[in-house]
């Protein structure tokens, strides 16, 4: 497991049989979006094709953070993979709704639900 911290943002990642899970806490804004981008790029460049971003501890996400997620999803899609979102907090869910990201990403209530759904759909 790798743990990265920047200002009020924490990112931890672990990989398993069903892919990678990145847990994000605190705030993703212009000063911390690069940290998320670096971690997602590391996983994608390392061959991960199924990534779940768990946001249960995320209080805030800016347009910079949304751009990072969208770019990672596009990169994964080109290689036959996918990026899913799990455990949105109410504020972050509202941001996803307003921005149209709820239509772009598969969003699940929990990492367990996302993992099970991915397992069933292949």
Q: Which of 62, 85, 63 is nearest to 73 (CA)?
A: 85
13 vs 2: CA distance, rounded Å: 5
Instruction: List domains and CATH numbers for the chain.
Output: 8-28+50-89 (3.30.750.24)
Q: Has residue 12 got a pLDDT over 90?
A: yes
Given this model, what pLDDT does residue 121 score?
Answer: 64
For 2-81, where are the E strands, in sequence order?
2-6, 9-16, 19-28, 50-61
Average pLDDT of the residues of the chain: 92
**Residue 65 to residues 18, 26, 37, 104, Cα–Cα distance (Å):** 25, 12, 8, 15
Q: Tens digits of per-residue pLDDT, 101-111?
A: 999 999 999 99
Given this model, what pLDDT does residue 81 score?
Answer: 95
Q: Has residue 118 got a pLDDT over 70?
A: yes
Q: What pTM was computed for the model?
A: 0.91
20 vs 44: CA distance, rounded Å: 10
β-strands 82-86, 106-108 pairing: parallel
Task: Give phi and psi for 32, each to the nearest 5.
Answer: -120, -5
Given this model, what pLDDT does residue 51 score?
Answer: 97
In this prediction, residue 47 has a pLDDT band, given cuts at 50, 70 and 90, of very high
9 vs 6: CA distance, rounded Å: 5
């Amino acid at each position: 497991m790798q743990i990265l911290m920047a200002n009020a943002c924490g990112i931890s990642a672990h990989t398993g049989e069903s892919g990678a899970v990145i847990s994000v806490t605190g705030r993703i804004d212009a000063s911390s979006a690069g940290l998320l981008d670096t971690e997602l790029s590391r996983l994608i460049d390392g061959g991960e094709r199924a990534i779940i971003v768990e946001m249960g501890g995320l209080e805030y996400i800016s347009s910079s953070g949304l751009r990072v997620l969208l770019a990672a999803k596009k990169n994964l899609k080109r290689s036959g993979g996918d990026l899913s979102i799990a455990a949105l907090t109410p504020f972050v869910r509202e941001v996803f709704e307003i921005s149209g990201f709820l239509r772009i990403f598969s969003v699940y209530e929990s990492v367990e639900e996302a993992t099970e759904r991915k397992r069933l759909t292949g």
